[in-house]
Amino acid sequence: MSTHEAGRVTFTRGGLPESHHDIHVAVVGVDGQLVASCGQADLVTFPRSSSKPIQALPLALAVPDLPDDELAVACASHAGTPAHLAVVQRLLARSGSTASDLQCGAHPPFDADAAAELICRGEAPTALHHNCSGKHAGMLLACVQHGWSREGYTSPDHPLQVVIREAHAREAGVPLEAVRVGTDGCSVPAFALSLTAAARLFARLAAPQGEHAQALQRVFRAMAAHPFLVAGPGRLDTTLMPQVDGLVTKMGAEGFYGLAVRDTPHGPLGVAIKVMDGAERPRPYVALAVLEALGVPVTPAMQDLAPGTLRNWAGREVGSVEAELHLQFA
């Protein structure tokens, strides 16, 4: 068991700690071995949407000439802007599907402008606006291409989801029974892994190898080439990926974050981060602290993503934010 002191991101106001978030991190090399950790590297948790690059593998394998923008949106937790919806609709059309075939449910766009525009038009959000609609559109196309029924594609017993679970086990280097199954917010299976195993998924993206190396390489390339489609305006994946050459990141719900980093003094690495209370706001602070600890230069533009000064809505300085990781190298 690999356990060190957990990291912590502390928000301070008026000189007093007001809140803190406990952090666990696993960093893995291309050989699958733990390079560094903070807290419980063997903590079993759900990567949630951070699994999307692996969930897209059956699509990448089935449609080797799929445009990068469509593959990127299949890996996305998108913001529901018109640009996102256009690519999702194009992906849907490839399988002869429509928004009514999406089994993800509906929620307002994450993007405030897109959500306001819907309200102004007096329209309700549809499944297209769901942040996972690209993933679901990709799953429908994968089903058609592999000869599987589109009916019940979200069921854990559907051939698509069986293959995706197997992909998690294979790329994470764990037995299939170690990949525990829950249900995600968009109704597809959510697969739980240890942080170390989840970090291996991102190490595979950083340095693709094995039978499906070409598909992994295509997923990495698509996400790196289209960071806007992976998330959206002002969101961490979209703003961080362009700042570092050879970096792919993917946010997951409940404070999960995965990073595939190709160029570090330790070689290509995969990183899995879990904020234990599920909060999103510590994520940029932890990501930058991890990158810096791994020897990746953190530029002023990157530091702007995680300001040390806490300001209120009037722009007044009211506190500070500090990240303490104590990343321990193996």
Residues composing the chain: 330
Q: Report the largest interatomic distance among the alpha carbons of the chain, rounded to a whole angstrom.
A: 62
The answer as to whether 242 is a domain residue is yes
Q: Which residues contact 296 (CB under 8 A, 6 or more apart)?
A: 244, 247, 261, 263, 264
pLDDT of 3 reads 60
**Number of folded domains in the chain?**
1
Q: Which residues contact 151 (CB under 8 A, 6 or more apart)?
A: none
The answer as to whether 290 is a domain residue is yes
The answer as to whether 132 is a domain residue is yes
Model pLDDT for residues 196-205, shown as the tens digit of each residue:
999 999 999 9
The answer as to whether 2 is a domain residue is no
The answer as to whether 98 is a domain residue is yes
Q: Residue 316 and residue 100: Cα distance in Å, rounded?
A: 47
The answer as to whether 1 is a domain residue is no
pLDDT of 1 reads 40
The answer as to whether 187 is a domain residue is yes
pLDDT means per 10 residues in the chain (330 residues)?
80 96 98 96 98 98 97 98 98 97 98 97 97 98 97 98 98 98 98 98 96 97 98 97 97 98 97 97 97 95 95 96 93
Which residues constitute the domain of residue 164? 7-329
CATH, residue 276: 3.40.710
